[in-house]
Amino acid sequence: MGFFPKIRASSVVAPEVRADAIDYVNRVNWLFETWDLEGAIAAFTSDARVYHFHGSLHGEAEIRHFLSEVYPYLIPGVSRHASNHIVDVEESGLVAVRYQNLLVRYATLEDAPKLGDGQVHESELLPALWLYSPMLDRLEKTEKGWKIAERYIGSSTTNMMLTPVDTSAAAVAPYLPKP
């Protein structure tokens, strides 16, 4: 995992810090899964850095543009599962959370809105693991709670059979979860 920066733990992690940090990462995944765009953007510090397989971002404006224009195809019919969390308090005071993020495609774009009503959907292909990504979130405690100061998405593997043909924001927009 050469892409990820070295983590220099400064102390033993208190159980409540570990639990809070893991809970925060999982809650941020839920913001993405339910397409709470404003909540997802607010999960980052205003000067956050994100290193994604689609490129590097810095600050709220770039994160907003990325999430609005590049990322939407990763939302409809997709569930996120963070696992194997490792939490360390760094010398800088940031809390590093390393984990694997698994994206499970449970519906095609077209079928995704139907499943919001609690219907059962049958498929010969789905659900299936669509994307695997090792992750590192460096969290900063602010007066408003945890925020992501840095996010690293490592070398990822995607099952291309499950990727929509047209991944443009315009093509995906009709299938995004509605607030």
CATH number at residue 110: 3.10.450.50
- What pLDDT is stored for residue 161 in this prediction? 96
For residue 96, tell me if it sits in a domain.
yes
For residue 71, tell me if it sits in a domain.
yes
Mean pLDDT of 25-33: 97
* pLDDT classification of 1: cutoffs 50, 70, 90: very low
Mean pLDDT of 29-34: 95
- CA gap 21, 75 in Å, rounded: 23
- What pLDDT is stored for residue 9 in this prediction? 85
pTM: predicted TM-score of the whole model, two decimal places: 0.93
- Average pLDDT, whole number, for the chain? 93
For residue 8, tell me if it sits in a domain.
no
Overall domain count for the chain: 1
For residue 76, tell me if it sits in a domain.
yes
Quick check: 3 pLDDT over 90?
Answer: no
For residue 33, tell me if it sits in a domain.
yes
pLDDT digit string, tens, across residues 82-121: 999 999 999 999 999 999 999 999 999 998 888 866 777 7
CA 49 vs. chain centroid, Å, equals 14
For residue 4, tell me if it sits in a domain.
no
- What pLDDT is stored for residue 114 in this prediction? 82
- What pLDDT is stored for residue 53 in this prediction? 83
- CA gap 42, 100 in Å, rounded: 22
- CA gap 144, 56 in Å, rounded: 25
Mean pLDDT of 134-150: 96
Residue pair 106/116 in contact by the 8 Å Cβ criterion: no
- Domain of 58? 13-175
Residue pair 44/61 in contact by the 8 Å Cβ criterion: no
For residue 166, tell me if it sits in a domain.
yes
SS3 for 120? coil
For residue 94, tell me if it sits in a domain.
yes
Token pair recorded at residue 66? 């990325």
- What pLDDT is stored for residue 172 in this prediction? 97
* pLDDT classification of 55: cutoffs 50, 70, 90: confident
- What pLDDT is stored for residue 116 in this prediction? 67
